[in-house]
Amino acid sequence: MTMGVDPRDLGDEDLLRELRHLHETRSETFFHGSDDALERHTSRTQELEGEYLERYPDRQVDPERLREGARQRSA
């Protein structure tokens, strides 16, 4: 069940803004939110991230964020 605006109805800028806000508030919700708030935060994040991945399946991936990049940093 989607609460708030359906992610498919958000423009690209709005989707990015919503994702950034959720990521900014994650720690506060995790450490201090009620069980319901944490569950809702998690489900909304999944909804928005899923929509982002649908729109940008070939998003740019930083090579430093891959295992090979980590291996090169530790060598």
- State the helix-helix crossing angle for 35-55 and 12-32, rounded to 10 degrees: 150
Question: What does the pLDDT read at residue 3?
Answer: 74
Cα distances from 43 to residues 11, 25, 26, 47, 59, in angstroms, run 20, 14, 12, 6, 22
Is 23 in a helix, a strand, or coil?
helix
27-70 pLDDT per residue, tens: 999 999 999 999 999 999 999 999 999 999 999 988 888 887 66
State how far the Cα of 17 lies from the Cα of 21, in Å rounded to an integer.
6
Q: Tell me: pLDDT of 11 over 80.
A: yes
Determine the Cα–Cα distance for residues 73 and 57; give it in Å rounded to an integer: 27
Whether 71 has a pLDDT exceeding 70, the answer reads no
- Return the pLDDT at 67: 80
State mean pLDDT over 11-16: 98
Task: Tell me, yes or no, if the pTM score tops 0.85.
Answer: no
